[in-house]
Structure 1
Amino acid sequence: MTHAPPGYVCSEDGTRADVRTAPWGCPLCGGPWDLDFTPDPDAVLEPSAGPNSLWRYGPVLPLPGAFSISLAEGHTPLIPLGERIHAKLDYLMPTLSFKDRGAVMLVELARRLAPQRVVADSSGNAGTSVAAYCARAGLDCEIFVPEGTSEKKTEQMRAHGAVVRVVPGGREAAALAARKEADAPGVFYASHVFNPYFLHGTKTYVYEVWEEMGRRLPEALVVPVGNGTLLLGAALATQELARRGVRPPALIAVQSEAVAPLAEAFAAGADDAAPVEQRPTLAEGIAIPAPPRARQILAAVRASGGTFVTVPDARLREAQRDLARRGFFVEPTAAACWAAVSPTSPTDPLQGRTAVIPLCGAGAKTGLAP
């Protein structure tokens, strides 16, 4: 018997919807969906017995039954990067970014819903991931990107067979164009921000850290934050693992100093973030002036006992080069966490704690920051 995937629920007003018929966002408040799904903490979780992909965590993932979409994503190396810091090399994923974790979940869901086409918006990495997995699934795909998106990333999308729509303006303009298209019949909106299945893919990052560290977690997880998809996935995983008796870490969120609405809201003690100006920054992947899940991100960081850190472009540039000299060539956005916690950082958000940072995007996608 085929079971329906878990449904959506709005955290703001409690609206519920079936994934097979739901609009892309809550029809009452217009906000992003959460998922009506909580894994059984008593379910046997033996990832080493599963496939060599993130589907090894099947007992805690929301899609029931057999999966068919995979590029052997996940299970990326955890490498020492200092006395108390490890780096998780998610830039070694199939499309060279951590976004594959969420994209494989979205596209597996889309495959089951059988839309006429898949639409997404992205500043680069999420779009390349969705395009690749749609190619794997045989689904038509259209990606909306803001002008100025890295040509290497749009070339990758087109290579996977996606139609790329370049939208004048910034990241929000591309999102609005995609959402307008998402209202058309037969369209599945593979939004890495509005669709919570993406977050249940990114949470596997933390499950892998837990597995690789001998079924424990570090004292802190340092995460770059724009729309917050990795941080919110990490929060889901730490909550789920806490029910299994695993001590949860503090979540340390890193933003670009140029575009830091969440860090500013956190410092002010606010529950939500006011939009900020879209300013240029090397960390284009986290330059989000109005994150739709701001309230959830702020609440998750506070609940964990964590904090926010901002880094200027000069530190990003220095951190990217320092990582390269250590053997890790990542894009500037992926260097943000090292910029925040490296020994040369002007602040010490770790305060002696053990930590894991993600190296989430390959430098081959952008080159070295000028």
Structure 2
Amino acid sequence: MLSCMRCSRQFGDREIVWRCPCGGTLRLSGYGAAPSDGRGIWRYLRGLPLDASRIVSMGEGDTPLIECRFGGRAAWFKLDYLAPTGSYKDRGMAVLVSWLRSAGVTHVVEDSSGNAGSSMAAYCAAGGIACDVYVPDYTSSGKCVQIEAYGARLVRVPGTREDTTRAAERAGQERTSFYASHNWSPWFLQGIKTWFLEVFDALPEVRNVVVPVGQGSIALGARLAMEELRAAGRLERLPRILAVQPAHCDPLARAFEAGLDEPVRIEKKETAAEGIASAEPVRGAEVLRAVRETDGGFVTVSEAEIWSAHSSLCHAGLYVEPTSAAAAAGWDKLCGAGRIDAAEPTVVYLSGIGLKATDKIAGHVQ
């Protein structure tokens, strides 16, 4: 059952709706996290109201969790950039596109800074759904090539990430299309939560998770998984969610520090961490609440700190995009400030592969 987070209105599982008429976000509830005999993400998604014959899967999930030294410190790194399309978005997109197929949707519109668009294009190609992907004009060329290679129609939008969202929303109002925004979708979060479930099964003593945050799906997925694990009696003390934002785009970090319940309005600057350059996160209030409920916090990182962390990760054999490096930079900064005890098991989340941003990385190196 779907329910509105603002007005509590309820919707059926197969209703073709991406947000409540009141403007509120939707939540899918009633499904636990008990693992089954499936593989990848699907072993945690037993009971979801999906037509089993319409599921679209390419082996997402079961990514490595490795212990690695970085900047003289050790932590566990979740390598979710080793997903089928090169980003963690595959977890959520497998569930979202499976729901779209189950509901009989044949044409979708998505907006993305790149990774979600690549993932949507791939899963729609595998599921036989026509797909238009709207991206900001500044999106890395590697991501744009990937989107078009899957057969999706790529639409570049001049201006900001938020301009791209508004253009996609308008396109999704056409009768033949459905605006399948991953940022609004409760189905997407059901897939994303599996990253923390995998971490917990491998490292139940985990005390901190350090995640990059733009729209906040990684943090929200972790909080959803924690809630389900606690309800199942498997988790008593919640690990802290420590959220990282670039200093050039930090509406949630500023709100958190000011004790606010909603993101603040900011003037966004260009950042290498394009995947988390979201000035208007649609679930921002939910992200702030999730971080506070785990006694977590926010940290911002400069462009220099992002690139320094990127270099260190590369020298450790981990070739990620700058957005992932922001998480590592945040972790290093939190440790340096004494906000993370080196003795506490900590997981740093690496969300996207560097091959998608080779043009930006090459430009910086040169």
State if a TM-score over 0.5 links the two structures.
yes
Provide the C-alpha distance between the structure 2 equivalents of 1:233 and 1:255, rounded to a whole number of angstroms.
17
Which residue of 221, 227, 230 maps to 1:233?
221
Distance change (3 Å), C-alpha of 1:157 and 1:282: same
Partner-residue secondary structure (3-state), 2:81: helix
Matched, 1:39 2:48: no
Which residue of 6, 16, 29 maps to 2:10?
16
Matched, 1:250 2:250: no
1:36-78 alpha-carbon deviations (Å, 9 max, x no partner) = x22247xx524xx322x21122326553645531110110000
Matched, 1:122 2:122: no
Provide the C-alpha distance between the structure 2 equivalents of 1:315 and 1:357, rounded to a whole number of angstroms.
16
Distance change (3 Å), C-alpha of 1:204 and 1:61: farther
Matched, 1:283 2:273: yes
Shift of residue 20 of structure 1? Answer: 3.6
Please tell me the residue identity of whatever aligns with 2:242: I
Distance change (3 Å), C-alpha of 1:345 and 1:306: closer
Shift of residue 322 of structure 1? Answer: 0.2
Please tell me the residue identity of whatever aligns with 1:225: V
Partner-residue secondary structure (3-state), 2:134: strand
Gaps of 5+ in 2: none
Which residue of 138, 162, 165 maps to 2:128?
138
Distance change (3 Å), C-alpha of 1:303 and 1:64: farther
Structure-to-structure mapping, 1:68-79, within 5 angstroms: 68-79=55-66
Partner-residue secondary structure (3-state), 1:59: coil
Structure-to-structure mapping, 1:325-344, within 5 angstroms: 325-342=315-332
Alignment partner, residue 362 of structure 1: 353
Distance change (3 Å), C-alpha of 1:355 and 1:60: farther
Provide the C-alpha distance between the structure 2 equivalents of 1:181 and 1:232, rounded to a whole number of angstroms.
27
Shift of residue 320 of structure 1? Answer: 0.4
Distance change (3 Å), C-alpha of 1:346 and 1:58: closer
Provide the C-alpha distance between the structure 2 equivalents of 1:60 and 1:271, rounded to a whole number of angstroms.
33
Matched length: 355
Q: 1:222·1:358 contact (CA, 8 Å) conserved in 2?
A: yes
Shift of residue 184 of structure 1? Answer: 1.9
Shift of residue 84 of structure 1? Answer: 4.9
Provide the C-alpha distance between the structure 2 equivalents of 1:184 and 1:349, rounded to a whole number of angstroms.
49
Partner-residue secondary structure (3-state), 1:270: coil
Provide the C-alpha distance between the structure 1 equivalents of 2:47 and 2:287, rounded to a whole number of angstroms.
22
What is the alpha-carbon root mean square deviation over aligned residues? 1.8
Shift of residue 118 of structure 1? Answer: 1.2
Matched, 1:59 2:41: no
Shift of residue 343 of structure 1? Answer: 7.6
Please tell me the residue identity of whatever aligns with 2:26: W
Provide the C-alpha distance between the structure 2 equivalents of 1:134 and 1:31, rounded to a whole number of angstroms.
26
Partner-residue secondary structure (3-state), 1:63: coil
